[in-house]
Amino acid sequence: MSLKSNKETQAPKNFNVVPLPEKKPQLSCTHCGGPRFVKRRKDHKGDQIYLCKGCGRHFVDSEKKAKQFIVNPETEYLKDIWDIRCLGIEPGVGRYSYSLNFTDISQPWLLEATKLYTKFTLATTSYASAQSKLLAVRQFSLFLAKAYPSIEPPEITRKVILDFLVEVAGSNLAVSTRRKTIGGLRGLLEMAYQNSWLDISRYLVRDEDYPKQPKSTPRFIPEKVIQQLNQHLDVLHEPIMRMVLVIQEGGMRVSELLYLKYDCLMQDKAGDWFLHYSQFKMKKEITIPISREIVRVIQEQQRYIREVLPADYKYLFCANSSNGGLGGFRPQAKQMSRNSFNRYLNVVADKGDIRTASGEKWHFQSHQFRHTVGTRMINNGVPQHIVQRYLGHESPEMTATYAHIYDETMKKEIAKFQGKVVNIAGQVVESNNIEADDSDLQWVKRSIQAQALPNGSCALPVISKGCPHANACLTCTHFRTSPEHLPTHKKERKTTIQVIEKAEANGWVRMVEMNKEKLTNLDNIIFGLEGGIEDGR
């Protein structure tokens, strides 16, 4: 059988077999996935650059570039432009740049020291950090070439550094950028001194050289703007609409949103839901409680991904290959870029004419949602250490930024979160003591979406579709209250008794029934808060 098969596959004599040309894979924009583009110049490595007609950004053939690099650090370190992929280093989530360019450093002694410094930075921090520090040294090199063209390392004095600081101060740079520039140069000079890379003095850059950092103010989105955004979400494709809803509640960074795993949902024994994701900046995993509404949104997106993309695609959200426009959504098995997400947000802002209370047109930036969640939590009285955990901040100082916005609405005593919480039956439904991390997580789970009421709180999520009860909250099973509201409940009990007496005298049967139910619940609440029912029986 095999011999016959071989004969059958042999070409006849005097017949030339011409192999079919290998089909070239279709090139598409690496940013938006669009298929329409034009050729532009070639880059310094001779690679063809293209301009995407869809998103207007430049890109190169990523497939071609992927075949070009071979991990060979020793050879790469000798070059004046490093491709970090040849060093075996990934640029990080959401980054499309791969090079470190030393060509602007004209002083040979500074070039050699900078390469050593950059090798150390790549080994201990990140590509983004190395890129930032390299930029600072390049600025210093350009300054020296202009002001001290023939300077040698021993001649770098404090006066030279002060002259550079004056130039940096006179530039049109933000304070944060100036601080990074000074820090990058200081890191190089101190390492060069410690490791004898350069013959220079110590303490050339000092603490007092840094410009004062202005107090950081969160760029939160006003509630009026959020309301307008949600009213016009139907302008967006459904997958992008879901992205907006998730980031509104979760407060994650945009890279964390774009790289959410398909299986990001978790559920505890009580049936409550949590969102699990990676914080790339902090290099850690984080779990936060989420409402059932957002769970349904995520589950809808999971079904969508399984219907339209291959089973091995492991992320919750994807890119749109339809040139980034609103004409249609063609799912592509890759992550959407942060710039594309921002563009979609501002399409909604333009089409919905979204404005602030003062009439100023609003421009969205994805990181504003993170600031908004933090500010809203502080404003709603959530303890700062819980906000810190929810947002994944490393230190209380990072979270304290949000506390400056609505100080007047913060709880004055942490004791307000201690003691019993009871329902309308007077049953203790949970303890509000905040101790270990797990307790923090459970507190956020039940409180993060709770609505404040004059005499307690509602356990329904804020974004639920309204209260199903036409009566007062005192007849609702979602109502929660605690000891600080006890005087209010006692006062309302007296008023309710008076209403019942008047209703009975006038024969208002329905009013009697409603207020007797309310009175029963008030008696239960008061009894429970004063030490009656402790275990929920």
Please pick, among 57, 85, 370, 446, the residue that the annotation labels catalytic: 370
State the pLDDT confidence band at 50, using cuts at 50, 70 and 90. confident
Lowest mean pLDDT among 50-54, 135-139, 305-309, 479-483: 479-483
pLDDT at 155: 97
Q: What is the mean pLDDT of the chain?
A: 78
Predicted local distance difference test score (pLDDT) of residue 139: 96
Residue of 496, 426, 434, 412 whose CA lies nearest to 456: 426
Res 211: pLDDT:
93
pLDDT at 44: 58
66 CB-contact burial (10 Å; exposed 0-12 / middle 13-18 / buried 19+) = exposed
Residue spans of the domains in the chain: they are 26-68, 69-209, 223-385, 411-458+469-529
Average pLDDT over residues 529-534: 64
Average pLDDT over residues 279-301: 85
Q: How confident is the model at residue 182 (pLDDT cuts 50, 70, 90)?
A: very high
Terminal-to-terminal C-alpha distance of the chain: 80
- Whole-angstrom CA distances from 383 to 250, 439, 458 are 17, 13, 18
- Alpha-helical regions (H) of 195-291: 223-231, 238-250, 254-258
Distance CA 35, CA 30 (A): 10
DSSP 23: P
Q: What is the average per-residue pLDDT within 323-352?
A: 84
- Give the model's pLDDT for residue 19: 53
- Which of 23-27, 29-33, 251-255 has the highest average model confidence (pLDDT)? 251-255
Amino acid 159 reads: K
Considering only 35-39, 134-138, 146-150, 240-244, which range has the smallest mean pLDDT?
35-39
CB count within 10 Å of CB 397 equals 9
The residue ranking higher by pLDDT, 280 or 111, is 111
* Residue in the block written with tokens 């699990």: 276
For residue 266, what are the CA distances in angstroms to 16, 214, 289, 462, 514?
Answer: 62, 40, 9, 21, 41
Mean pLDDT of 306-332: 84
Which one of the listed residues 79, 281, 334, 516 is annotated catalytic? 281
Most confident of 27-36, 147-156, 234-243, 333-342: 147-156
Domain 223-385 has CATH 1.10.1200.10: no
* Structure tokens that stand for 254 in this block: 């945009």
Q: Among positive and negative, which fits the CA dihedral 472, 477, 479, 482?
A: positive
Average pLDDT on 216-234 reads: 84
Q: Is 3 or 377 the better-scoring residue by pLDDT?
A: 377
Min mean pLDDT across 42-51, 323-332, 422-431, 456-465 is at 456-465
Q: Is 168 or 29 the better-scoring residue by pLDDT?
A: 168
Q: Which of 38-42, 101-105, 286-290 has the lowest mean pLDDT?
A: 38-42
- Looking at residue 385, what is its pLDDT? 76
Candidates 242, 402, 446, 480; catalytic one: 402
Residue, of 410 and 303, whose pLDDT is higher: 303
> Which residue did the predictor score with more confidence, 328 or 69?
328
What pLDDT, on the 0 to 100 scale, is given for residue 63? 53
- What's residue 147's pLDDT? 96
Structure tokens at 23: 């089909």
Report how far residue 326's alpha carbon sits from residue 344's, in angstroms, rounded to the nearest whole number: 8
Q: Is the pLDDT confidence value at 267 over 80?
A: yes
pLDDT of residue 201: 95
Question: Would residue 367 show up in a list of annotated catalytic residues for this protein?
Answer: yes
Smallest CA-to-CA distance from 287 within 300, 303, 273, 297 is with 273
pLDDT at residue 64 above 50? yes
pLDDT given at position 346? 92
b vs e for 289-301, b when ≥16 Cβ sit within 10 Å of the residue's Cβ?
A: bbbebbbebbeeb
Residue 358: pLDDT above 50? yes
Q: Which of 253, 445, 478, 480 is catalytic?
A: 253
pLDDT at 164: 97
Is residue 15 pLDDT above 90, yes or no? no
Per annotation, catalytic residue among 179, 292, 367, 469: 367
- Asked if the model's pLDDT at residue 415 lies above 70, the reply is no
* Pairing of β 428-431 and β 273-279: unpaired
Least confident of 171-175, 308-312, 399-403, 508-512: 399-403
Higher pLDDT, 188 or 34: 188
**313-324 pLDDT, tens digit each:** 999 999 988 755
> Which of 265-269, 360-364, 507-511 shows the lowest mean pLDDT across its residues?
507-511
What does the pLDDT read at residue 478? 63
Query: Per mean pLDDT, which range of 138-147, 162-171, 501-510 is the poorest?
Result: 501-510
pLDDT (tens digit, 9 = 90+) per residue, 21-30?
Answer: 554 556 777 7
pLDDT reading at 480 higher than 80:
no
The whole-angstrom separation of Cα 316 and Cα 258 is 8
What pLDDT sits at residue 432? 39
What does the pLDDT average to over 258-272?
A: 88
Instruction: Report pLDDT for 472.
Output: 55
Is-catalytic flag, 281?
yes
Residues 329, 350: Cα–Cα separation, whole Å: 20
Per-residue confidence band for 95, with pLDDT thresholds at 50, 70 and 90: low
pLDDT of residue 12: 46
More confident residue, 216 or 126: 126
Options 133, 138, 178, 393, the catalytic residue:
393
